[in-house]
């Protein structure tokens, strides 16, 4: 057995097995509080580092119904670094992002009609939603115009808006005239190549493979009483296999962008059932 894997199993048996996560004193609104507790039991403080958590293995904490690969924002958004930036209200990035939410998102009645680019407006792969948006993978020999300062390359991922597909009755009022067009790229993720060493230019391949293409990943499962009782391991995987999962709709973009918060909240997720299908080893 790999000695690092053996070390993780020993850590689990010594510090995690039989425990219920103690989230006392943690932010109740933070969805990752149990995951942070679990990381700490393995000796790691919570951070935003994009490399595998432990000795080449990425720790994934199972949530209610779906689990995230990572919070990976687009490298370019139409409200900044584009020839259309001036069409979005505001002088700061936060203000222009809020304007983006009001144009391409929807109000949430449960949040005092706060606008967000989440839920119904979020584009899904290869099928337009009622907000005229779709998620596309740039396949070989496809040609795309771009409003950004960067070219579109094979296996990049795009969020695309088409005015004719927008079913909102008041779309003529919502969408500024220059944006009332077809195949307008509103968000662009670099796929295979990073534009530079800047954090904001890091491509999805690097983000994904830094986490998952070293030794693989692991998770800890609970019994019916909510106590951790087993540790499970999955194999490494690369960007090409992950991209195929997006094509099939298994991995999906789950945006949580909303007014009043500069963070785009760009999670890429799959169902827990799918994650379970990737498990190849279990230890108690």
- Could you tell me the pLDDT band of residue 87, with boundaries at 50, 70 and 90? very high
State how far the alpha carbon of 232 is from the alpha carbons of 10, 222, 268, in Å.
13, 11, 21
Average pLDDT, the chain: 90
The pLDDT, as a whole number, for residue 148 is 86
SS3 199: helix
The pLDDT, as a whole number, for residue 147 is 83
Residue 115 has pLDDT above 80, yes or no: yes
**Which of 6-15, 67-76, 194-203, 253-262 is the least confident region?**
194-203
The pLDDT, as a whole number, for residue 54 is 80
Residue 72 has pLDDT above 80, yes or no: yes
The pLDDT, as a whole number, for residue 27 is 47
Pick the more confident residue, 220 or 143.
220
As a whole number of angstroms, the distance between CA 26 and CA 148 comes to: 40
* pTM, two decimal places: 0.91
Write out the two tokens for 107. Answer: 């109000």
The pLDDT, as a whole number, for residue 47 is 47
Instruction: For residue 149, give the nearest of 185, 117, 119, 116 by alpha carbon.
Output: 185
- Could you tell me the pLDDT band of residue 145, with boundaries at 50, 70 and 90? confident
State how far the alpha carbon of 69 is from the alpha carbons of 99, 271, 275, in Å.
28, 11, 10
Averaged pLDDT for residues 77-88: 92
- Could you tell me the pLDDT band of residue 215, with boundaries at 50, 70 and 90? very high
The pLDDT, as a whole number, for residue 153 is 94
Averaged pLDDT for residues 271-278: 94
Cβ atoms within 10 Å, residue 198: 9
- Could you tell me the pLDDT band of residue 95, with boundaries at 50, 70 and 90? very high
Instruction: For residue 138, give the nearest of 151, 147, 148, 121 by alpha carbon.
Output: 151
Residue 31 has pLDDT above 60, yes or no: no
Instruction: Give the tens place of pLDDT for each residue, 252-272.
Output: 999 999 999 989 999 999 999
The answer to whether 228 and 17 are in contact (CB under 8 A) is yes
**Which of 62-71, 116-125, 166-175, 216-225 is the least confident region?**
62-71
Residue 30 has pLDDT above 50, yes or no: no
């Amino acid at each position: 057995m790999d000695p690092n894997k053996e070390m993780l199993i020993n850590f689990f048996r010594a510090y995690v097995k039989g425990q219920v996560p103690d989230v006392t004193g943690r932010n109740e609104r933070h969805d990752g509080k149990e995951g942070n507790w679990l990381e700490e039991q393995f000796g790691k403080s919570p951070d935003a580092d994009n490399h595998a958590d432990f000795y080449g293995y990425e720790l994934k904490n199972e949530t209610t119904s779906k689990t995230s690969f990572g919070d990976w924002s687009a490298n370019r958004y139409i409200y900044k670094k584009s020839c259309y930036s001036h069409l979005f209200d505001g002088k700061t990035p936060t203000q222009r992002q809020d304007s983006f939410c009001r144009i391409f998102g929807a109000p949430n009645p449960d949040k005092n009609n706060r606008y967000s680019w989440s839920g119904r407006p979020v584009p899904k792969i290869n099928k337009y939603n009622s907000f005229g948006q779709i998620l596309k993978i740039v396949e070989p020999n496809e040609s795309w115009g771009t409003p950004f300062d960067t070219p579109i390359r094979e296996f990049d991922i795009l969020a695309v808006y088409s005015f004719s597909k927008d079913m909102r009755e008041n779309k003529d009022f919502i969408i500024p005239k220059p944006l009332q067009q077809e195949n307008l790229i509103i968000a662009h993720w670099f796929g295979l190549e990073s534009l530079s060493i800047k954090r904001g230019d890091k491509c999805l391949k690097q983000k994904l493979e830094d986490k998952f293409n070293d030794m693989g990943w692991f998770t800890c499962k609970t019994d019916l009483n909510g106590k951790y009782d087993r540790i499970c391991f999955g194999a490494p995987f690369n960007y090409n296999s992950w991209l195929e999962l997006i094509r099939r709709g298994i991995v999906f973009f789950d945006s949580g962008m909303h007014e009043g918060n500069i963070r785009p909240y760009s999670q890429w997720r799959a169902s827990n059932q799918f994650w379970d299908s990737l498990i190849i080893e279990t230890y108690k």
